[in-house]
Amino acid sequence: MNDKHPPERLSAFDMVNRLFDRAADLLGLSEEKRTELKTPYREMMVRLPLRTEAGEQKVYKGYRVQHDNSRGPMKGGIRYHPDADLDEVRALAALMSWKTAVVNLPYGGAKGGIQCDPEELSDLDLERLTRRFAHRLEGFIGDHEDIPGPDMGTDARVMAWMMDEYSKFHGFTPGVVTGKPLELGGSEGRLSATGRGLFFAVERIAPEIGLDLDGARVAVQGFGNVGYWAARFLADACCRIVAVSDVHGTIVHADGFDVEELNRVREETGSITNIDLAGMETLHRDELIAQPADILVPAALGSTIHEHNAHRVNCRLIAEGANHPTTPDADRILADNGVTVLPDIYANAGGVTVSYFEWVQNLQQMRWDAERVDRELRQVMHDAYDDLKAAADEFDTDLRTAAFLVAIRRVAGAAQLRGMH
Ligand code: GLU
């Protein structure tokens, strides 16, 4: 490996491409092919003026980056967050192409977002902003073109508004958006899908690394949709959730927290740190990753494990619920310290996988029951692990590079067969 790696101040998109290049090096991919696969297919920035309910005039920026469509329509979430700028959305769009390829869904990758703080917006403001965004994108998305889904800061309501706005122009089209409410063609199991998929990935690798889930200690960074459901499924498998963090702090308890109780406290007070439990310790949020645990689940923002704190990670297995939580330099430190990493493009692919099931149900005008969704999701996650493991063994490399190897082979293969499209 090159000792003189560039400093850590890379853009999010550069970081994703550094991971891409590690695998591309092993595959001996030409510069031309790399450029083609890295360059987004289409990028959009739209102006979103909003007159708020309170009478203020605001202007937001919305983005949709469509990264690749060689293997199928582009797919990826819509994020409402102050950090959702073009670089971040572009990085996340590329990750979606690799993610859908790793789990072998017939999709390409895209991502979108509005740079805003949804907490500051009223329900009506959020609806107006969402409808305007959907209106702007209307000519560029579609159930065989680009299919948005939920991400940080968006939920089933937002997806319903997007679907409704699009349908004003194109007729009732439930398959244009996933993560919808059940009443509008949403799927059983979509809400919990990312956490459940992450659990299936952990369940699959645990015996291979000699990890007994019964009593295993888990630290969860971030207690949003992904963190909560991941914690819940791990707790159901008899893991102990010994440390949890949110933006307000880290809470630690050696006996393990009751995940439902944490969720109740979060819903009622806005933060898990308000839980009142004897023997519990409260620390700064940055202390989460250093807590002794068997499994660490980063389920917050990107780049939270970096070159300055990776040496403090004190676990055997990292299952990445968030997108790009680990920087490339941190990756190297973790590998040196013998930490196994289930990479984001595999570990958190359960969300987009159940989005795919939702889309299939919409196109066929069918409904699957929850049991079928779970069964099929488990199969996808376990099969993808086998593909990753085979590539890791073939190239004698880590699971992240293996995931990129599998993904790049699939995307490059499809692109090659389609020609210059
Ligand atoms: N936002 C999720 C992700 O990062 C899922 C996107 C989708 O369902 O389209 O994978």
- pLDDT category, 6, cuts 50, 70, 90? very low
CA 301 to each of CA 30, 64, 124, 177, 325: distance values in angstroms, whole numbers, following the listed order: 32, 19, 27, 23, 6
The atom of ligand 1 lying closest to the CA of 323 is 4
Q: Which are the contacts of 291, defined by CB distance < 8 A and separation ≥ 6? A: 219, 242, 243, 250, 252, 314
The atom of ligand 1 lying closest to the CA of 179 is 8
Do 78 and 63 form a contact (C-beta atoms < 8 A)? no
Q: Are strands 295-298 and 217-221 parallel, antiparallel or unpaired?
A: parallel
Mean of the per-residue pLDDT values of the chain: 96
Ligand 1 in reach of 151 Cβ (< 6 A): yes
Tokens 């690799």 locate to: 98
Alpha carbons 379 and 405: distance in angstroms, whole number: 21
**118: nearest Cα among 83, 154, 159, 150:** 154
**266: nearest Cα among 322, 222, 320:** 222
Alpha carbons 273 and 287: distance in angstroms, whole number: 14
Which 3 state secondary structure label does DSSP give 321?
A: coil
Alpha carbons 257 and 240: distance in angstroms, whole number: 7
Torsion of CA 144, 150, 152, 157, to 10 degrees: 140
CA 66 to each of CA 93, 99, 111, 303: distance values in angstroms, whole numbers, following the listed order: 6, 14, 7, 22
**CA 65 to ligand 1 center in whole angstroms:** 14
Alpha carbons 202 and 340: distance in angstroms, whole number: 11
Instruction: Identify the pLDDT of residue 243.
Output: 98
Instruction: Identify the pLDDT of residue 421.
Output: 72
Do 37 and 112 form a contact (C-beta atoms < 8 A)? no
Average pLDDT over residues 212-218: 98
Instruction: Identify the pLDDT of residue 358.
Output: 98
Which 3 state secondary structure label does DSSP give 70?
A: coil
| Residue 111 falls in the annotated catalytic set | yes
Burial 168-180 (b: 16+ CB within 10 A, else e): eeeeebbbbbbbb
Which 3 state secondary structure label does DSSP give 74?
A: strand
Ligand 1 in reach of 178 Cβ (< 6 A): yes
Tens digits of residue pLDDT in 225-246: 999 999 999 999 999 999 999 9
Q: Are strands 295-298 and 317-319 parallel, antiparallel or unpaired?
A: parallel
- Read off the pTM: 0.96
The atom of ligand 1 lying closest to the CA of 147 is 9
Instruction: Identify the pLDDT of residue 184.
Output: 97
pLDDT above 60 (res 119): yes
Tens digits of residue pLDDT in 337-380: 999 999 999 999 999 999 999 999 999 999 999 999 999 999 99
Alpha carbons 374 and 229: distance in angstroms, whole number: 14
The atom of ligand 1 lying closest to the CA of 75 is 9
| 96-105, 170-179, 412-421: range with lowest mean pLDDT | 412-421
Instruction: Identify the pLDDT of residue 240.
Output: 98
Tokens of 155: 């939920």
**CA 76 to ligand 1 center in whole angstroms:** 5
Tens digits of residue pLDDT in 388-397: 999 999 999 9
Residue type, 122: S
* Domains of the chain, CATH where assigned: 38-184 (3.40.50.10860), 187-421 (3.40.50.720)
CA angle (348 as vertex; 342, 352 as ends), nearest 5: 145
- pLDDT category, 66, cuts 50, 70, 90? very high
Alpha carbons 388 and 400: distance in angstroms, whole number: 9
Ligand 1 in reach of 197 Cβ (< 6 A): no
**CA 279 to ligand 1 center in whole angstroms:** 37
Provide the terminal-to-terminal Cα distance of the chain, rounded to the nearest Å. Answer: 35
Alpha carbons 282 and 245: distance in angstroms, whole number: 9
Average pLDDT over residues 106-110: 98
- pLDDT category, 1, cuts 50, 70, 90? very low
Which listed residue (4, 58, 61, 111) is catalytic? 111
- pLDDT category, 8, cuts 50, 70, 90? low
DSSP 218-279: EEEE--SHHHHHHHHHHHHTT-EEEEEEETTEEEE-TT---HHHHHHHHHHHS-GGG---TT
pLDDT above 80 (res 5): no
Average pLDDT over residues 67-94: 98
Ligand 1 in reach of 358 Cβ (< 6 A): no
Ligand 1 in reach of 249 Cβ (< 6 A): no
Alpha carbons 358 and 352: distance in angstroms, whole number: 9
Ligand 1 in reach of 77 Cβ (< 6 A): yes
**CA 277 to ligand 1 center in whole angstroms:** 35
Alpha carbons 352 and 74: distance in angstroms, whole number: 11
